[in-house]
Amino acid sequence: MITLLGATKFYPPDQFAINQVNLQIDEGEMIFLMGHSGAGKSTLLKLISGLEEPTRGQVIVDGRNLGQINSKRLPELRRSIGILLQNPWLLNEESVFDNVALPLRIVSCPWRERDKRVRAALKLVGLNPNEMRPPCALSTGEQQRVALARALVIRPKILLADEPTGNLDPELSEQLVDKFMQLNEMGTTMIIATHDRDLANSNEKRTLILEHGRLKSDVVAKPRKECGVTDELLEVESSLSNDSVVISVAAESPVDLKSDNSGSPASKPAAADEFEGKADNPASKVEGSDVDRYL
Ligand code: ADP
């Protein structure tokens, strides 16, 4: 779904915001992107969303090489990517409903379809589907969910979130991440940039760590219940051209990642199987009806 090959973003006179990053992200993955302030997290998200062009290397998203894409087709690509920022940037002179409808108004979506999709997106994030109050009448956590609904109303295949929990207390952060989990189980590929180590660690998802623009590590942690009895993490070295990336997998048997030079995780996340109906999880079936309403 997303491939970076030697992707580099250089800002003159001397800043390599992203430096020779190789990365493969499969459809349906949920990824936490971590690193110190200035590590390149936002720049990486901008490269993937097509908001910035790589100085060198390739960024391929959903089969399109962003370095070579016709500028007329870039808006089409951007419409398949939802972006959620730390500050929701909502319009207080408009209702919550109209804020969520904004991306559809921009593309002149017919009003009947627009209303249906706005209601479905608001419902999906747990808000009143006919909320006519302005965003400022809602709590901080609810405002972030309005922004999430606005990002979802375009039905993105990929959701990029840049420090989305930065302004939320731990409880609200957890609620928002639960929503992310639900969306991921419904098939949305997600990358969440965060400096909150606890947030990433507690969710047992693939975690990328950037350091001064370089991909320092790529860690896949699977919950114990999914991999059988295991008491230790297996650390497997995978060489990715110039960068040495450590992939840690909690698994019963060793996974040969050395033959895979792509940097992709050894296995698909369990959530993807659930979405494809391969796991018998009643919770995911409930979400399935949400998918029908939403899609
Ligand atoms: P993070 O999101 O991890 O905090 P950023 O991607 O925002 O990091 O920034 C990575 C580095 O690139 C920083 O040193 C930052 O100052 C620099 N940078 C980001 N955007 C620009 C820009 N438009 N012009 C110049 N330098 C930039």
Find the residues whose C-beta lies inside 6 A of ligand 1.
11, 15, 17, 35, 37-43
| Nearest alpha carbon, ligand 1 atom 14 | 38
User: What is the predicted pLDDT for the residue at 130?
Assistant: 94
| Nearest alpha carbon, ligand 1 atom 12 | 17
As a whole number of angstroms, the distance between CA 17 and CA 38 comes to 8
Average pLDDT along the chain, 295 residues, taken 10 residues at a time: 96 97 96 95 95 94 86 80 90 97 93 95 92 96 93 92 87 85 92 87 88 94 46 31 36 33 37 30 32 35
User: What is the predicted pLDDT for the residue at 221?
Assistant: 64
User: What is the predicted pLDDT for the residue at 198?
Assistant: 81
User: What is the predicted pLDDT for the residue at 86?
Assistant: 84
As a whole number of angstroms, the distance between CA 28 and CA 255 comes to 21
In contact, 94 and 134? CB cutoff 8 Å: yes
Contacts of 153 (CB under 8 A, 6+ apart): 100, 101, 103, 104, 117, 118, 121
User: What is the predicted pLDDT for the residue at 11?
Assistant: 97
As a whole number of angstroms, the distance between CA 190 and CA 175 comes to 16
User: What is the predicted pLDDT for the residue at 222?
Assistant: 59
What residue type is 171 in one-letter code? Answer: E
C-alpha separations of 54 from 1, 33, 241 in Å:
18, 19, 18
User: What is the predicted pLDDT for the residue at 74?
Assistant: 79
Kindly give the number of the ligand 1 atom that is closest to the alpha carbon of 35: 3
| Nearest alpha carbon, ligand 1 atom 16 | 38
Kindly give the number of the ligand 1 atom that is closest to the alpha carbon of 37: 4
User: What is the predicted pLDDT for the residue at 223?
Assistant: 54
Identify the CA nearest to 9 among candidates 50, 45, 44, 51.
44
Q: What angle do CA 113, 118, 120 make, to 5 degrees?
A: 95
Q: Calculate how far, in angstroms, residue 43's C-alpha sits from the geometric centre of ligand 1.
A: 6
Give the number of other Cβ atoms within 10 Å of residue 12's Cβ. 6
As a whole number of Å, the end-to-end CA separation of the chain is 20
Q: What are phi and psi of 162, to 5 degrees?
A: -105, 105
In contact, 67 and 142? CB cutoff 8 Å: no
Beta-sheet strand order (sheet of 15-25): 15-25, 2-11, 56-61, 64-65
10 Å CB burial of residue 147 (0-12, 13-18, 19+) is buried
User: What is the predicted pLDDT for the residue at 69?
Assistant: 80
Q: Which two tokens stand for residue 155?
A: 């039905």
Q: What CATH class is the domain 2-80+156-294? A: alpha beta
Q: Calculate how far, in angstroms, residue 34's C-alpha sits from the geometric centre of ligand 1.
A: 14
